[in-house]
Structure 1
Amino acid sequence: MKKIMVIGAVDSGKTSLLMAIHGETGQVSKTQTIEYKSFTIDTPGEYIENPRMYRALMSTSLEAKCIMFTQDSTISKSIFPPGFARAFNCMSIGVITKIDHPQSNPQRANELLMELGLKGPIFQVSALSGEGIDELKLFISSKNRVS
């Protein structure tokens, strides 16, 4: 079964996002290695921050039907190379995280994600408040859009 894979910088909210999608609560622990759950793949932020780890992302993406690129809305620069989403042979979407933070700038985060060459939409979410999570879950569960 193909999964949804999440890629983003360290502390961009990847694991919190996946916990919210899975309906889990509790302490968030830093992802140290690629972690598989029922329909998701969580990747360490270091994998996108170190170009030598791109191969691991590329090979793991073969198990994915969709790549979610996360962008922390409180950070004004991207760690993704321009056009990076085009390197993956599956659906790619953007997820702007931490939209409820006082220093959130979703417009800037959207601009940064647009530079990736995404094949799908961009969602704005807060794993803390749950805002936007239902819309993202609906998209993920839609087999007609994510194939």
Structure 2
Amino acid sequence: MDRSNAFVLVGAVGAGKSSLFNVLFDKEEAALKTQAVVFETGGMDTPGEFFSHPRLYNALIQTVSDVGTIVYVHDGTDRTCRLPPGMLRVYGGKRVVGAITKIDMPECDPDFAERLLRENGVNDAIFRVSSRVRETVGPLKRFLFGELSDGPHACGDVERKKA
């Protein structure tokens, strides 16, 4: 099966991959703990454990091997990059984009998160999203499903919840 036009969401446990995946595919249900790779036409969601356990890196590498776009999902409230060293460079020729999640949270620092992603190998578009504010996901969705041409990709800030 040709998945060269497909994307895969990767990131740490709790980064918001499954919530984002549900919004991208217009699912209304709450995200559950992802136990295995979840497939939809054009996209895949991966368990966060693929990032946190080196013994599972091979499973992650195999999952991303045949897709055209890797989306590194980063919790915007997390000040540490959870990418395994060199993981994004295992296969050349892929688009590597970032999705900074939880931008509606008061402790989110999307500018810091974007610098962190750039410093760790995310060299393509970076999107600022909140699964709770669905319109913020629109630019990423259009980008992934081929409706967005070159130009600014990052969604603007949303009003953050007051602590």
Unmatched tracts of structure 2, length 5 or more: 150-163
Query: 1:104 and 1:131, CA in 2 relative to 1: closer, same or farther beyond 3 A?
Result: farther
Q: 1:52 and 1:59 mapped to 2: Cα distance?
A: 13
Alignment partner, residue 30 of structure 1:
33
TM-score of the aligned structures, taking structure 1 as reference length: 0.90
Unmatched tracts of structure 1, length 5 or more: none
Alignment partner, residue 133 of structure 1:
137
Q: 1:21 and 1:120 mapped to 2: Cα distance?
A: 19
Query: 1:61 and 1:124, CA in 2 relative to 1: closer, same or farther beyond 3 A?
Result: same
Q: 1:50 and 1:131 mapped to 2: Cα distance?
A: 33
Q: 2:125 and 2:15 mapped to 1: Cα distance?
A: 18
Alignment partner, residue 113 of structure 1:
117
Contact 1:84 1:116 in 2 (8 A): no
Contact 2:114 2:126 in 1 (8 A): yes
Contact 2:100 2:129 in 1 (8 A): yes
Q: SS at 1:137's partner residue?
A: helix
User: What RMSD, in angstroms, separates the aligned Cα atoms of the two structures?
Assistant: 1.8
Q: How many residues are aligned here?
A: 145
TM-aligned CA deviation for residue 84 of structure 1: 3.0
TM-aligned CA deviation for residue 83 of structure 1: 4.4
TM-score of the aligned structures, taking structure 2 as reference length: 0.82
Which range moves more in the overlay, 135-144 or 23-32?
135-144
* Higher Rg of the two aligned structures: 2
